[in-house]
Amino acid sequence: MQREDGTDGRAEDAAWREIVENYGERATLDPTEDLPARSADQTPQPERSGDHPSAPPRDETRADDDETARGPAEEPQEDREDRFVPPEPPPVPIPSPDRLAAWVGVLGSPATLLVCLIAGIAIPTWLGWLMVAGFIGGFCYLVLKMPGSPRDPWDDGAQV
């Protein structure tokens, strides 16, 4: 089988197959040798109710009392003072009244209609159409007021 680059694909496939077959060490088991049967007292049991049977056994040389007596590692006073403390975030800006009304139409109308639908509250037809018009009008207003270009044409938006 010839490939597009002119090489023989069978030789390459055979080489890859050989690599895969010889990857890592394989355990060799003698089929004539009987494996020792475990008795009930040799079966590993979880040490605590939270341990999983397949979890590695715990190291019994360490005592849990030593860990709790030690407590968390104490940090020097100097390290606590040198930590970064972020500045207070600026207050959330309040949009202009026209944009606020548009956002109320975009977010408030569908939310109100959904709550009325789930709660089984019947609203007049004209009010439903008014909410749909508020959603469409608010969305169109916000799209029209979007800036056409970035404030700084060389700014990619990343902030440090």
Q: What angle do CA 11, 15, 19 make, to 5 degrees?
A: 170
> Residue 21: is its pLDDT beyond 80?
yes
More confidently predicted of 60 and 139: 139
Contact 1, 10 (CB under 8 A): yes
pLDDT at 78: 59
Domain locations in the chain as residue ranges: 98-145
Residue-level pLDDT at 40: 56
User: Angle of helix 109-119 relative to helix 125-145, nearest 10 degrees?
Assistant: 150
Q: Give the residue-averaged pLDDT of 13-33.
A: 79
Q: Which of the 8 DSSP states describes residue 64?
A: H
Alpha carbon 138 to its chain's center: 33
